Amino acid sequence: MKSFKNISLVIAAALTGAMLVTPSASAAVSTALTVNGSAATGGTTSTVPVELPVPADNSIDAADALKIAVSGLDTGTVVSVVATGATIVPALATSAAPVTASSGSGSLSINTGTGTTAEFYVYTKTTAVGSVAVTAAGNTTVYYVKGTAGALNSITLTSVSTGAAGTVQTIKVAGYDVFGNAKSGATINTLVSNNGVATSTALTTDSATATLGTKTQDITLPASGTVTVTAYATVASAVTGLATPVGSAVAVITVRDLATELAVANAQIATLQSQLAAEKAAHDATKASATSAATAAATAKAVS
């Protein structure tokens, strides 16, 4: 009886010891968000995302990437990361191992191995809000990032191709960074050449959401001829591997003389009406002749 009691005590002690040394899998886990070595601002809600410069130099460096470090993990823990509207890379660029704006992916799995920390980086090429879901120790936390547009890299010019004499036509210029994000506050110049007279105007692109990165200008067309509009701006230098800068655009508006066009159209209508009348008269004459011949033949047959 005593031996069974002793065995029971040993088992109880062993179980108690096991309970005492089992750590809490998530109690010590923590996550740090930093940009260029400093604590990131925001990131825990979509309305206040971490703002990052887009990698306009085609290199993912500390200044334009969010570092996410998850620490306090058990050895051998696997951390899973999934990004939407952003890109994940396991390391930043170095001279020996470049990391460009085409590097990375939308998901990453990190095994801590014998360590207790998982680190990775997130960058974005868009000014839309993106998210990063981090799953570690059974818990998933979502962080948010948003890019800020880079330097002006390209411009466009939108215009009608024709317009009536004396009418006011609206042209629109737009500016974009190297990744196609609308660029507000950019200076785009226009040169409007009208019958030998050129007028230059400096336009600043809008920051309002509805018209972000664009600006309009009204042009009064002359009585005749053409109007040439040239848009131009100082844009960023070319970067290997990224879109080629576009610093100018041209549009030509042909002036329409509606009075002359109407007169020509009326003359064409009159000619067609005259032709139709002549054809109708010829048709009626042929029909009358045929009827007369048929009547004469019928009469001759009746008499015979």
d(CA 264, CA 292): 42
170-204 pLDDT per residue, tens: 999 999 999 999 999 999 999 999 988 999 999 99
d(CA 100, CA 94): 10
Mean pLDDT taken over the chain: 89
d(CA 111, CA 134): 13
Residue 181's Cα: distance from chain center in Å? 6
Greater model confidence, 32 or 301: 32
For 145, phi and psi rounded to 5 degrees? Answer: -135, 160
Structure tokens that stand for 213 in this block: 């990165």
Residue 242's Cα: distance from chain center in Å? 15
Residue 58 and residue 151 in contact, taking contact as beta carbons nearer than 8 Å: no
Q: 10 Å Cβ neighbour count for 41?
A: 11
Tokens 């506050």, located at residue = 185
pTM of the prediction?
0.77
Q: pLDDT band at residue 16, thresholds of 50, 70 and 90?
A: very low
CA atoms within 13 Å, Cβ hemisphere of 92: 15
Is 147 exposed, middle or buried, given 0-12, 13-18 or 19+ CB atoms closer than 10 A? buried
d(CA 108, CA 100): 17
- Mean pLDDT over 98-118 rounds to 97
Angle ∠(272,278,280) on CA atoms, nearest 5: 100
- Mean pLDDT over 125-137 rounds to 97
41-92 pLDDT per residue, tens: 999 999 999 999 999 999 999 999 999 999 999 999 999 999 999 999 999 9
Q: pLDDT band at residue 218, thresholds of 50, 70 and 90?
A: very high
Nearest to 265 by CA among 273, 276, 275: 273
Residue 56 and residue 176 in contact, taking contact as beta carbons nearer than 8 Å: no
Q: pLDDT band at residue 261, thresholds of 50, 70 and 90?
A: low
